[in-house]
Amino acid sequence: MKAIFNRRSIRKYTPEPVSPEVLRTILQAAMAAPSANNTRPWHFVLITDRTLLDQIPDFHPYSRMITQAPLAVAVCGDLNRQPNQAYLALDCAAATQNILIAATDLNIGSVWLGVYPREDRMHGLSSLLRLPAHIVPLTMVVLGHANEVKPPHNEWFPDMLSVNYWGTKPAL
């Protein structure tokens, strides 16, 4: 619960690298995500090469922070394992959220960068990472040691709730 509420989009990082042990745990958390029919259609491309990281803002307009980060993970889906692109997107979103929560728990700052369904970002990332045609990039997560502090979430939105029938409010 602490990691869920403390997770914030961190867009400023120190130059310190993320250790291989921590990175492995974060990726293992990603691999623990649910997936439709348990197909586990994920492929995670670790982007550590500075020249690759620095090219991402060329095709992604909201990714400037990546030029200061030590690492990003491109969360991709394998069409050979899950041919339905909607399921692929949902499965990769679940894995992405696990990465963010695991990173928070391990004191690593993170931010989700949207890729799918924006064709220009998908094409840009596919060609940069030389992805084969059956591997679709869905999201990216930038990772690094946080160099900014943000307050935890504690919002409560009653408008987002119904019980049994639409518009009937639960007593919560």
**Interacting residue ranges for ligand FMN, rule: CB under 6 A:** 8-9, 11, 62, 111-114
Residue 20 Cβ vs ligand FMN, minimum distance, rounded to whole Å: 26
Question: Among residues 45 and 72, whose Cβ is nearest to ligand FMN?
Answer: 72
Question: Among residues 27 and 138, whose Cβ is nearest to ligand FMN?
Answer: 138
Residue 104 Cβ vs ligand FMN, minimum distance, rounded to whole Å: 10
SS3 of residue 50 by DSSP: helix
> Which of the 8 DSSP states describes residue 38?
G
- Cα angle 69-147-46, degrees, rounded to a multiple of 5: 25
Question: Among residues 8 and 145, whose Cβ is nearest to ligand FMN?
Answer: 8
Say how far residue 42 (Cα) sits from the centre of its chain.
12
Question: Among residues 64 and 169, whose Cβ is nearest to ligand FMN?
Answer: 64
Q: Are 15 and 70 in contact (CB under 8 A)?
A: yes
Output the residue with the shortest Cβ distance to ligand FMN.
114
Residue 112 Cβ vs ligand FMN, minimum distance, rounded to whole Å: 4
Q: Are 143 and 26 in contact (CB under 8 A)?
A: yes
Residue 124 Cβ vs ligand FMN, minimum distance, rounded to whole Å: 13
Q: Are 66 and 75 in contact (CB under 8 A)?
A: no
